[in-house]
Every structure is written in C-alpha cells, then in structure tokens.
C-alpha cells in the first residue's frame, strides 16, 4: 500500500508529474487523434506537445515543461518508439531528470518506476530481490520475489527510469544489456523469466561531469540513443525558464508574494551567463570562471530563496538585498579560489554598471 496515497493530496510537498499535470494529460488524450504506439497513453505528437506546450483545437492551453530545441524532444520521443533506449546527457541542471520524469508521465502515466544510480547500486536493485521471510519459509517462488521498478515496468509495458547511469559500477550496468537487447529478464532461481510487454523502454540520465567515473561500456552504449541537453542558448530563453519555474515553485510552496521581478531574474541570469562564459555581456571584460557550475537550476534556487526572504522578512518585493546572499553562495563554492573570482567580478563588472549599485552594495555587505 502506498502510504502517500493515504494522505490528502493537497498536503504533498511535491506531486509526481502525472498528478500535477493530470488535467493537461487528460485533455491531450481527449484531443489526440493520432496513432499511439502499443501501450502508450498518448501519441508521439501529443507527448511532444505535453513537453513543449501548445494550444489544443478546443482552446485548451498546455504549459511548456521544457524550454529549448523542439528537435531534441522529437528525437527523444521518437527513440522511445524504437527498440533503443534513451540516454539524456548534459551538465548538471540542464533538466535531464525533469525531461525524463515528464516523458515517463506522458507516455506511461507513471513516472515513479525509478532506479537511482549510485556507486552502491546493486544487481538486485536492477533485477529483483527476495522477501527473505518467504524465501526461507517456502523456498524460491514468484511470491517470494521482490520485483525491481525495472521488472515492474517490463511486465506492465511502461517506461522505467534510471537516474545517473554512469555512477553505477560497470559490472552492474551490464545487467541492462540483456534487458535491452533480449527484452527479457531471466530468473535462474526459478528457471523462469520475465518478458517485456510492448511499451516498455528505459530512459537513463547521465551527467557530463561524472564522465570517467564509470564510463558506459560500448556494448551498453550501442543500446542507447544519446540526446545531449544543452544549456539555454540565449539569455531570453534562460530568463523564461527561471521565471516560469520560480512562479510554479512559489505557487506550490504558497509563498505570499507576487511574481518575481523580472529585473532581478535578468540580473541573476546575466551574472551566471557571464561567469560561465568568462566574458562580460558587452564582450569587453574577460572574466575568470568559478569552480561552481552555475546552472539554470541554481539560478532558479537563488531567485526562489530570495523570494522566501522577501516574503517573510522583507516587504514582499524581491530586491537586490534578497538575492545577494543566495547569489554569493551559488558562486562561491571554494572559499579561496572562488572568492577571488567573485570579488574581481564585483569590482570590474557589477560596480561599473550604473543601475546595479544596489546589487553591488548588497553583495559587498554579504562578503563582509
Ligand atoms: N531548458 C529547460 N527548460 C525547462 N526547465 C529547465 C530547463 N533547464 C533547466 N530547467 C529546470 O532546472 C531544474 C533542474 O533540472 P534537473 O534536476 O532535471 O537537472 P539535471 O540535468 O537532472 O541535473 P543533475 O545532473 O544535477 O541531476 C528543473 O526544475 C527544470 O525545470
Ligand atoms: Mg538529475
């Protein structure tokens, strides 16, 4: 029994995508006249519309979940209709997990069949384990077997998700090869097997930064189509992502403030992009980059914590004072190196911008 289901939905801290966007998914299913692959809840077209947003014929508006290149999402969705699995790669905070969750929600109506990859992920957590009380009492049987999320997905014809695939030790990763090529999972203890139902596939995510930790074997690589999710191309795109996510997070956390001031979002995003690229917006000043990734996801949390400060300890309007501490915290991860980089940036770029005086002062106050 799922204990969360017993709780009042209104009190869940975070709903699964298929719960949060149930209405959108239902409207899409109603409007969707195109052919659906076996066991898919929606057609590839409708899945793509769910991810990228759009307006249905009856006027219903589907919100965009992913902001970026349409083609990438089309390739990802198309891959899942084939016998190859999907690998989403990219640096931290490029929405790999986010896209994976929404794809599973739209295709299978279930984003919860998830294996979190770590250095300690064992073969059992990918294949199956045993209920030892029953195993000892009755010996090995299907009833004593505890299916992994992957096995459940195979039996139900759903999408399974594997997070951080490259953190899983190489020999354990190889368990996936039989599953992906034979579409079956042997259970030698029972002389039995589980054969995957149509609709089953895997979406894995992997972080570029972890490259080399446990690189994928070429045998496994061949069974995946890789889609690389990039950082937002333009500042407009990135501002839109931050603005939209902060708004919906604010709603979910019931923060009593209005939409975040666009000027502050723009400043945070500008700073992140400048430090990431090592050059100021006007192309005039070369900058050193800090050790931190400064991803879009981090920009979202800087603005979000700023909003919480403004709501609970300020006047409800997001100001430079509210974002300064989050900003410094995001940039300065290494207390020595990054402090140097940050101070240089403050003095050469932030200080020089006439309309950024408030931010300059607020950041100086954090530092002292
Ligand atoms: N292009 C984008 N469109 C929409 N949201 C985005 C985009 N890029 C980042 N985000 C937001 O960034 C947040 C973080 O994304 P997510 O956790 O999926 O990153 P990740 O790539 O899995 O990172 P990690 O490698 O650290 O696991 C999400 O809330 C997501 O909404
Ligand atoms: Mg992730």
Q: Which residues contact 161 (CB under 8 A, 6 or more apart)?
A: 100, 101, 104, 111, 113, 114, 115, 149, 202, 203, 204, 205
What pLDDT is attached to residue 12?
A: 83
286 alpha carbon – ligand 2 mean position (Å):
31
87 alpha carbon – ligand 2 mean position (Å):
12
Q: Which atom of ligand 1 is nearest to the CA of 164?
A: 27
What pLDDT is attached to residue 256?
A: 61
Name the residue of 50, 86, 98 to mutate for ligand 1: max ligand atoms within 8 A of Cβ.
98
What pLDDT is attached to residue 250?
A: 72
Q: Which atom of ligand 1 is nearest to the CA of 68?
A: 1
Q: In a structure prediction context, what are the per-residue pLDDT tens digits for the chain, which is 368 residues long?
A: 455 555 566 678 889 999 999 999 999 999 999 999 999 999 999 999 999 999 999 999 999 999 999 999 999 999 999 999 999 999 899 999 999 999 999 999 999 999 999 999 999 999 999 999 999 999 999 999 999 999 999 999 999 999 999 999 988 999 999 999 999 999 999 999 999 999 999 999 998 876 655 678 888 889 999 999 999 999 999 999 999 888 887 776 676 656 557 889 999 999 999 999 999 988 999 999 998 889 999 999 999 999 888 888 888 788 899 999 999 999 999 889 999 999 999 999 999 999 999 999 999 998 65
What pLDDT is attached to residue 312?
A: 87
Phi-psi sector, 361: left (phi>0), alpha (psi -120 to 50), beta: alpha
Name the residue of 161, 268, 296 to mutate for ligand 1: max ligand atoms within 8 A of Cβ.
296
Residue 187 corresponds to which tokens in the numbers above? 């259970």
Q: Which atom of ligand 1 is nearest to the CA of 205?
A: 22
295 alpha carbon – ligand 1 mean position (Å):
8
Compute the distance between CA of residue 80 and CA of residue 322 in angstroms, rounded to an integer. 43
Q: Check: CB of residue 195 under 8 Å from CB of residue 151.
A: no
What pLDDT is attached to residue 308?
A: 87
Question: What is the SS3 assignment for 54?
Answer: strand
Q: What is the CA radius of gyration of the chain?
A: 23
Tell me the whole-structure pTM to 2 decimals: 0.91
Dump strand ranges (E) for the chain.
54-55, 61-62, 85-90, 114-116, 128-130, 145-147, 159-163, 184-187, 192-195, 201-207, 224-228
The count of other CB atoms within 10 Å of the CB of residue 316 is 12
What pLDDT is attached to residue 68?
A: 94
- Please, what is the Cα angle at 327 between 236 and 325, to 5 degrees? 145
60 alpha carbon – ligand 2 mean position (Å):
30
Residue nearest to atom 10 of ligand 1 (CA): 95
Q: Using a 6 Å CB cutoff, which residues line ligand 1?
A: 66-68, 90, 92-98, 205, 207, 232, 241, 245, 296-297, 300
204 alpha carbon – ligand 2 mean position (Å):
10
Ligand nearest to the CA of 295: 1
Residue nearest to atom 28 of ligand 1 (CA): 95
Name the residue of 67, 297, 300 to mutate for ligand 1: max ligand atoms within 8 A of Cβ.
297
Q: Which CATH architecture has domain 3-228?
A: 3-Layer(aba) Sandwich (3.40)
116 alpha carbon – ligand 2 mean position (Å):
10
């Amino acid at each position: 029994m799922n204990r969360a289901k017993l709780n009042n939905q209104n009190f869940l801290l975070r709903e699964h995508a298929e719960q949060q966007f149930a209405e959108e998914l239902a409207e899409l299913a109603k409007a969707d006249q195109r052919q659906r692959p076996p066991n898919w809840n929606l057609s590839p077209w409708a899945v793509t519309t769910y991810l990228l947003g759009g307006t249905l014929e009856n006027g219903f508006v589907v919100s965009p979940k992913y902001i970026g290149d349409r083609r990438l999402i089309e390739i990802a969705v198309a891959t899942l209709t084939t016998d190859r699995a999907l690998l989403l790669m990219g640096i931290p905070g490029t929405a790999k997990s986010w896209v994976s969750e929404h794809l599973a929600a739209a295709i299978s109506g279930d984003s919860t069949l998830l294996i979190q990859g770590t250095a300690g992920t064992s073969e059992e957590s990918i294949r199956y384990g045993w209920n030892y009380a029953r195993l000892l009492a009755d010996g090995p049987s299907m009833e004593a077997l505890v299916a992994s999320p992957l096995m459940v997905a195979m039996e139900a014809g759903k999408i399974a998700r594997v997070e951080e695939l490259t953190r899983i030790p190489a020999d354990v990763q190889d368990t996936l090869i039989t599953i992906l090529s034979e579409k079956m999972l042997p259970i030698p203890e029972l002389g039995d097997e589980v054969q995957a139902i149509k609709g089953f596939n895997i979406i894995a995510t992997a972080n570029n930064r972890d490259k080399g930790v446990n690189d994928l074997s070429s045998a496994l690589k061949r069974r995946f189509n890789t889609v690389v999710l990039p950082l937002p191309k333009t500042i407009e795109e990135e501002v839109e992502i931050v603005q939209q996510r902060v708004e919906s997070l604010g709603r979910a956390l019931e923060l009593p403030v209005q939409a975040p001031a666009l000027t502050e979002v723009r400043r945070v995003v500008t700073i992140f992009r400048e430090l990431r690229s090592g050059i100021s917006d006007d192309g005039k000043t070369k900058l050193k980059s800090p050790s931190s990734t400064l991803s879009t996801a981090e920009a979202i949390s800087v603005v979000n914590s700023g909003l919480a400060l403004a709501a609970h300890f300020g006047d409800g309007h997001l100001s430079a004072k509210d974002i300064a501490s989050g900003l410094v915290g995001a940039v300065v991860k290494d207390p020595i190196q990054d402090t140097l980089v940050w101070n240089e940036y403050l003095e050469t770029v932030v200080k020089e911008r006439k309309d950024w005086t408030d931010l300059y002062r607020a950041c100086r106050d954090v530092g002292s």
